[in-house]
Amino acid sequence: MSNSNTPTLKCGSCEHENEPERVYCHNCGSKLDRSLLPKVEASKSETPEETHQRVQRMMKPKRAGGFSDMKVGIQMVVFATLVAAIFLFWLTPEGVPDTSKAVIPVADPGDLWTRLMEVKTANSFTSSEEDINAHLRRTLKAGEASMGIKFVRAVAAFKPGTVTVFVERSIFGISTYSSVTYKITNRDGKVGAELIGLRLGRLGIHPSIAGSLENWAVTGLWKTLGKELKEADRLSEIRVAEGRITFVSKPL
C-alpha cells in the first residue's frame, strides 16, 4: 500500500490505510476521520519522490472497476428492455378495425357459409371486413371475468393474402390486445393458414414460442368457429384482398 516513510490515514470501518489526502476510504468508501490527520502528519514526513509515487497509485484504477462497470451496464440494459416490453404490452396495436359503428350486413356471413356448404356445385361468396366483424360481434359474447381477466371481443383485419385476428381482453378494467396473423396457403388443393406473426399489444413474439401462445392469443374464437373449421376441407380456395375475403367451394 504505502512506503514505510509515507503517512497514512486508517479507515475506522475497514482499517484500510489511506493516503492522507483522501476524504473517503479507497477500499470501502466510508468517510475518513480527518481529525486524526494532524497527528499522523506530525509523526512523519515524505520526500517529493514518495509523494509522486503515492499520487500515481491514487490515480490508478482498481482492476475490478472495469468488470463492475460492465455488470452495472448489463443490469441497466436488462432493466430497460423489461420496461420497454411492459410498455409495448399495454399499447393498442396498429390496424385494429373500428367496430364502434353498428353494421347490419345485407347477408350474414354465417348464412352465406351454410348455403355454400349445402350447394353441391362449386360456388363462392365474398364478405367485407365490416360484415365479418359484425358476425363475430353477434357470435362471440363477452365472458365473465376470471382472475380479473375478461374476454371483450374478437375482430379480423384483411390484407392481401393475410388475415389478422385481434382479441381484446380487459385486465382489471384495462384493455389489452393480442393479435395473430395468418398467411392463407393452398397446397395440393388443400386450403390452410400458416402462422406468420403474433403480438401481445405491440410486443412482437419470437416465432420459436409464438406457436405455443397461439391458442391463448385467440381464446374462444376457434372453439366458436369449430363447425366452420371442420367444413373447411370443402374449400378449394380462400382469396383475401384489402378489406374483404372470398370463400370458394369444391363441387361434391
User: pLDDT tens, 156-208?
Assistant: 999 999 999 999 999 888 999 999 999 999 888 789 899 999 999 999 999 88
CA-based nearest residue to 97, from 137, 133, 139? 133
The pLDDT of residue 40 is: 45
CB 93 within 8 A of CB 203: no
Q: Which run of H or of E encompasses 175?
A: strand 174-187
The pLDDT of residue 2 is: 46
Q: Which run of H or of E encompasses 249?
A: strand 244-249
Residues of the chain with pLDDT below 70 are 1-6, 38-46, 54-67, 144-145
Q: Which run of H or of E encompasses 152?
A: strand 149-159
CA-based nearest residue to 235, from 123, 114, 158? 123
Provide the 3-class DSSP secondary structure of residue 212: helix
In degrees and rounded to multiples of 5, residue 200 shows phi and psi of: -110, 110
- pLDDT, tens digit, 9 for 90 and up, residues 214-234: 888 887 777 778 888 889 999
